[in-house]
Amino acid sequence: MSNLASIKNIIFDLGGVLLDLNYQATIDAFVEIGIKDFSSLYSQKGQKQIFDDFETGKITSNQFISSIQSLTHNYISKDEIIIAWNAMLLEINPKKLDYLLSIKERFRIFLLSNTNEIHISKFEGVLAKKNELEKFYDCFEKVHYSSRLSLRKPNVDCFKTVLEINQLNASETIFIDDSIQHVEGALKCGIKAYLFPQNYTIQDWLPDIIQPKHH
């Protein structure tokens, strides 16, 4: 493990790191309503232009829904599309938020998520029902959603913009994401980037990164 004594900032991905995801649930839901080849359009590893456009705010939620409707000859309602699109979103374990708050005294904490307005509305609603929405936003000095930043990972400009906005030094910054292509994008900017391993929780995994054991 490289020397991390100089680390002052941590940028977290949202989905797959803090928010539990199930991509297959959305693929299955779209197949169920008549879009049989949805997996060829959208997955964790890659996606068609329409999804990039939605995640960078180039198209509205209604334009996105219309584009999805045009993929099939069968009529699919707006509500059916929203439910299918949101099926991948599971939950955020409150223990993850407790952990982020506990390290906030030592590090400047940020969020950088490739997301869209439908998903933001959904997970904010889920958190609000549990009275955890304010707690979620309290974890971060600043939250950056791709649809509002107009840039998405792994675009190097996305990372550079976040560094500039927050006046962060790349060499003093850790980035954590569950997609290898995003980790590679951050590394190109000089950020110390880590691929978040599956089957771990952030509170179990991160301490070994930021507090390496001395031998």
d(CA 121, CA 77): 18
Nearest to 144 by CA among 206, 55, 209, 205: 55
CATH number at residue 63: 1.10.150.240
Mean pLDDT of 27-50: 86
Q: Which residue has the higher pLDDT, 96 or 214?
A: 96
Backbone dihedral angles phi then psi of residue 178, each to the nearest 5 degrees = -100, 5
Q: Which of 86, 102, 128 is the last residue of a domain?
A: 86
- The pLDDT confidence band at residue 1, using thresholds 50, 70 and 90, is very low
Residues 133 and 37 reside in one and the same domain = no
The model's pLDDT over 101-154, given as tens digits with 9 standing for 90+, comes to 999 999 999 999 999 999 999 999 999 999 999 999 999 999 999 999 999 999
Q: Same domain, yes or no, for 101 and 189? A: yes
Domain boundaries, position 103: 9-21+90-210
